[in-house]
Amino acid sequence: MSEESNGEDAVPDPKFNDELRTIIEGSSGEARFREPSAREREKLAKAAREEHARTEKRLEELKKETAKQARKADKQASEQRRKAGRPGRRHRESLWGLAVLILIAAAVLAYIRLGHSPTTSAGGVNDTQVVTNGAVPPTASVAATPASPLTESGPPADPFQSTPADKWANGAVGITIPAAKAVGQYSATQVESAYQTTKQMLVAAALNEQTLLGGAPTAFADLLTPQQHTDFTSTLDRIGLKQGEPISERGFIVSFAPGTTKLIGSVIKVHGSMQARAATVKGEPVLDIDIDYLFTYAVEPPKAPADWMRIVAHFDGPVQFGNWAQASTSFTPWWDSLIFVAGERCGSPDGFIHPDYPTGPPQSIQPTGRARNPYSSSEPPRGCTRTTGT
């Protein structure tokens, strides 16, 4: 016979009996855990409402302070440009600025009200994150993406096939320079020099590999006058939108968000023209080199070649040669060209180009207006407009 009890003959623990008796008789004292009463729940709810009200008030104060700082910065920038003898000009035009600001402000407020903290990261495939390390981004490592049926294929051998860009020149060869002739008070030699400098600036802004992949745009910055160099480099890591446009002047150049974009092959298709004309700025003579060039890029997200697409960047506007403040000579360039990009996500506040990949997440801000042909320079788009496709 085993010495272990079978359970039915076990003798109850006296201590257990004593505790059970105190519970039955109601003398066990206050419970360690209990459900809050209705009064206590109302008190907690009231405290939560008061905390929410304080958060709302603080958000309003932050918004007012941000607007105040923005006005102060604008005033300082305007004063600097006035002293430099140059009018201020935005680098990207837009038709949807106010709506963008309202939508972004509403999204941020809603996110914070839900108890989250806004975060940023360097981004990755199908990136929608803001890039905060603008001036000199580190080498970005892109996380591996889950396998999908689409990754079994990739772009064709000629990613420009069946588009107008297929017949365009490759790279810098497409930046053609017309025969130089004297224009107004400027000699043919000066016009030729302006043409060559303008081509150098276009190559640095649209064809430099380091700049294209989100690196520091040193090649372009080195060609600017001291005043514009300071204005350009000091804004590269700014985050935000003003009237729908990034406050970062990275929009002067073609620079894809680090880690989001891989160039397909070594070919960038280029087509366009430049033309010299005499002009004036605040009564002072300048030589305008009006540029009208289209650059077409075949790109794909890293590790997802089937999600490839084309991006078309349209450079439209003048490079003005004159006697600018702080310049070393009386005939130096001032970059005043705008860029319109077809195929990018609307409303990215970091100044980088974020491709709108075919299977990427939906855009929070949709392009508007009549669909335009991105391969035509006769009617360049303004702002984030719809296109007939890239």
First to last CA, the chain: 89
Q: Which residues contact 75 (CB under 8 A, 6 or more apart)?
A: none
Q: Which of residues 326 and 314 earns the better pLDDT score?
A: 314
Checking if the pLDDT of 306 tops 60, the result is yes
Q: Residue 184 domain-assigned?
A: yes
The per-residue pLDDT of the chain, averaged, comes to 75
Which helix (H) or strand (E) segment holds residue 14: the answer is helix 14-25
- CA–CA separation, 85 and 12 (whole Å): 98
Residue 296: what residue type?
T
The whole-number pLDDT of residue 197 equals 97
Q: Residue 101 domain-assigned?
A: no
Q: Residue 225 domain-assigned?
A: yes
Residues facing residue 372 across a β-bridge: 387
The whole-number pLDDT of residue 130 equals 66
Q: What is the phi/psi pair of residue 269, to 5°?
A: -85, 135
Q: Which residues contact 281 (CB under 8 A, 6 or more apart)?
A: 85, 86, 87, 320, 322
- CA–CA separation, 390 and 387 (whole Å): 8
Average pLDDT over residues 210-214: 94
How does residue 338 score in pLDDT terms, banded at 50, 70 and 90? Answer: confident
The whole-number pLDDT of residue 36 equals 56
Q: Which of residues 146 and 389 earns the better pLDDT score?
A: 389
Q: Residue 327 domain-assigned?
A: yes
Q: Residue 224 domain-assigned?
A: yes
Q: Which residues contact 158 (CB under 8 A, 6 or more apart)?
A: 166
Checking if the pLDDT of 189 tops 70, the result is yes
Task: Indicate the Cα dihedral angle 128, 129, 135, 136, nearest 10°.
Answer: -100
Token couple for 159: 């990613």
Average pLDDT over residues 378-390: 69
Token couple for 208: 């430099």
Contact in structure between 97 and 365 (CB atoms under 8 Å): no
Query: Of 59-73, 194-208, 270-284, where does the model show the most confidence?
Result: 194-208
Domain that holds residue 382: 149-387
Q: How many domains does the chain have?
A: 1
How does residue 196 score in pLDDT terms, banded at 50, 70 and 90? Answer: very high
Q: Which of residues 246 and 47 earns the better pLDDT score?
A: 246
Q: Residue 158 domain-assigned?
A: yes
The whole-number pLDDT of residue 19 equals 56
Q: Would you list the DSSP string of 17-63?
A: HHHHHHHHHT-S-S-SS-PPPHHHHHHHHHHHHHHHHHHHHHHHHHH
How does residue 20 score in pLDDT terms, banded at 50, 70 and 90? Answer: low
Q: Which of residues 139 and 166 earns the better pLDDT score?
A: 166
How does residue 241 score in pLDDT terms, banded at 50, 70 and 90? Answer: confident
Average pLDDT over residues 369-389: 73
- CA–CA separation, 306 and 285 (whole Å): 52
Q: Residue 88 domain-assigned?
A: no
Q: Which residues contact 80 (CB under 8 A, 6 or more apart)?
A: 227, 231
Q: Residue 160 domain-assigned?
A: yes
Distances 348 to 239, 247, 387 between C-alpha atoms, Å: 9, 11, 18
pTM of the model: 0.64
Q: How many helices (H) and strands (E) does the chain have?
A: 7, 11
**Total Cβ atoms within 10 A of residue 30:** 5
Q: Which residues contact 359 (CB under 8 A, 6 or more apart)?
A: 126, 150, 304, 307
The whole-number pLDDT of residue 224 equals 93
- CA–CA separation, 179 and 72 (whole Å): 46
